[in-house]
Structure 1
């Protein structure tokens, strides 16, 4: 008997296929936990490695105790079964923590995705995703630029209906060249074809992305009609001022001051 009058009944276990299988599974589980623990530790994930090291220690202590008790070294209870129960509870606790953390991360990602989607949908620039010369996504502003009521009307439409594919290739080449040279990505000026047949002056830049597992072009489109009108007006004004300046210099060079004084 144990202290405090606690009695123990030991059941004899004859070696056989079942005990061999149990021992083999225990050893495999021990090796697996040790291997995973070392992998976590080497990759800097010590928070995940520590419980696995603790599990290995519990298994070793339990197996050593049971072997000593079975060999008659001292009288005590077999603890392997309790060790396994404790390990199951520990793993359940850790798994619950991982599940809660994953749920929190998923919620944060959803909130971030919603914020980015709102920024894209409410942006002042048109945004489209082009894949194999077909529009796969468009925001509301892009629909407004080309004269559609909703962005859904652009989805699965050919890009050739609104933009010359060669213009898209030129914009892509400019972006790739600028990225290689670590320079500011230039805005490629082109003409968009609207649904009503009119044309719109636009500045576009593009970048390569992966969309639904396949390469695609992310295209930003901005209406530059007003800016071009201001630039044209400034250029016209500068030309007029240049003509007046040249006329003034010509007049000044041909003016005879004596003739002017005589006339006065």
Structure 2
């Protein structure tokens, strides 16, 4: 037998082993082994090619992801609202985003990239301290800085700063992410200032102010110390509302506490407190919920109303006294009305009977007896006149009806008709004034006085004029007139003229009262200016009705 030389196995075959079908074909055909080996090599090549393709796809995926990541980072870097930058340890700005330009007032990237970060530090020592910290800690988070913009304005900056170190631990670059904290810092300063002002107001407030958290007092201002007669604010610490409020008001305080939780605040209410000296005091108390140290608290404001309560009690007693006096006054008024009724009814009836007998005697008597009878007749007539005046004054005070349009011309003509034998001259026209049913009384008194005091030959003029929305009425006579010293007091109660026929002084007082009731004024003048003896002129005004 000759020696049969075989080729060494293919590397791939040694890994995968021989295929039995291939071995069978090799025995049947001389070239079978070579064909099998070639097929195996082709299969291995196909597998390697597939692995290479998968590797190429993975590499491309990694490259695409890296490219996308870089694009996202670039977009983030450029669109970030924080001022992102990269600069060298010497301070040279190497890269920055638009927000960085805005924060520090750079007009362009060229201006920023040709600048040094050191120019933004008002104090160069701060920059040196920062580098030392970075060398030691490598990163600084929420680091507060005060830097200077290009326009010189200082800004409060909060930054995250990361140092880039080489293998030797040397600082070779610095990345920073900054945002302008000036507005927040300013708001914080304003809030602190506001809190300080609030604290001062609370400390100086005349009202007691107490802060309560978790149903326990944590603060009391000086006014509260004074109101409760405490030795110091510490006396309130840890106490509850029920420790300071009178037991009679515990239920009310409990209700108000629940309302405060629901509504946030409640209006003031009167309660009674117990001071540290044991004395009860009335206060006006209000309550509201406020934030305090990250939690909700209640603030109570109390005002001492002891004097007000005393004043209210005094007012209540005074009111009771007034009620009593009113009742007594009403009883007295009823009694006075009884007497007035007797005067104006019963006495008048008696006078009417007496007047009838006086008239009879006057018709039958002669000589001196007739003179006496006339005087009796005149006395009874004056008595009736007094009763009529009293009744009129009573009507003035009791009649509460309002004013209404009254035809003045009709009133004057009717009153003239009451004096048929008197010489009265009047040329009027229809005109309405604001008055009531007592208006005729004015003309009854004025015309009656002119006829009575003027003598048998007296002449009376009644004139009516409209002036500036008012109606001026004049009743003039040719009688003896009114002396100057009497004019000013003639319209007051019980003031009489100086003639022999002077009355009881009520008629002109009634005239003035009624004229003023109608919104006018009354006066007496000389009919002929400067000559009192030439007669009197009584003038008064009335409001013209629309």
TM-score normalised over the length of structure 2: 0.32
Give the match's secondary structure for 1:149: coil
Counterpart of 1:131 in structure 2 is 213
CA gap of 1:92–1:242, structure 2 versus 1, over 3 A, is closer
The correspondence of residues 173-184 of structure 1 with structure 2, limited to 5 A, is none
Counterpart of 2:277 in structure 1 is 196
Residue 236 of structure 1: which of 306, 311, 317 is its match?
317
Counterpart of 1:70 in structure 2 is none
Residue 168 of structure 1: which of 253, 256, 269 is its match?
253
Counterpart of 2:167 in structure 1 is none
Please say if residues 125 and 141 of structure 1, whose CA atoms lie closer than 8 Å, have aligned partners that are also in contact: yes
Residue 206 of structure 1: which of 287, 298, 302 is its match?
287
Give the match's secondary structure for 2:267: coil
TM-score normalised over the length of structure 1: 0.61
Give the match's secondary structure for 1:243: helix
Q: C-alpha distance in 2, partners of 1:89/1:31? A: 15
Q: Greater strand percent: which structure?
A: 2
**Per-residue Cα deviation, 1:59-105 (whole angstroms, up to 9, x for no partner):** xxxxxxxxxxxxxxxxxxxxxxx985244964883884324444433
Q: C-alpha distance in 2, partners of 1:226/1:33? A: 71
Residue 30 of structure 1: which of 70, 74, 98 is its match?
74
Who wins on radius of gyration, i.e. which is larger? 2
Please say if residues 260 and 289 of structure 2, whose CA atoms lie closer than 8 Å, have aligned partners that are also in contact: no
CA gap of 1:228–1:26, structure 2 versus 1, over 3 A, is same
Query: Post-superposition shift, 1:203?
Result: 0.7
Counterpart of 2:95 in structure 1 is 85
Counterpart of 2:268 in structure 1 is 187
**Per-residue Cα deviation, 1:200-219 (whole angstroms, up to 9, x for no partner):** 11110112233333333221
**Per-residue Cα deviation, 1:93-142 (whole angstroms, up to 9, x for no partner):** 38843244444333222211111110011111111122232112221111
- RCO higher in 1 or 2 (8 Å CA, sep ≥ 6)? 1
Query: Post-superposition shift, 1:155?
Result: 2.0
Greater shift, 231-240 or 165-174, is seen at 165-174
User: Is 2:259 the partner of 1:249?
Assistant: no
Please say if residues 146 and 195 of structure 1, whose CA atoms lie closer than 8 Å, have aligned partners that are also in contact: yes
Greater shift, 97-106 or 141-150, is seen at 97-106
Residue 297 of structure 2: which of 194, 216, 221 is its match?
216
CA RMSD of aligned residues (A): 4.0
Please say if residues 133 and 160 of structure 1, whose CA atoms lie closer than 8 Å, have aligned partners that are also in contact: no
Please say if residues 127 and 139 of structure 1, whose CA atoms lie closer than 8 Å, have aligned partners that are also in contact: yes
| Alignment: residue pair count | 201
Counterpart of 1:62 in structure 2 is none
Residue 142 of structure 1: which of 224, 230, 234 is its match?
224
The correspondence of residues 143-158 of structure 1 with structure 2, limited to 5 A, is 143-158=225-240
**Structure 2 unaligned regions, length at least 5:** 1-58, 86-91, 106-144, 148-154, 156-179, 348-546
Q: C-alpha distance in 2, partners of 1:152/1:91? A: 52
**Per-residue Cα deviation, 1:35-77 (whole angstroms, up to 9, x for no partner):** 655xxxxxxxxxx8xx78xx9xxxxxxxxxxxxxxxxxxxxxx
Please say if residues 267 and 287 of structure 2, whose CA atoms lie closer than 8 Å, have aligned partners that are also in contact: no
Counterpart of 1:43 in structure 2 is none
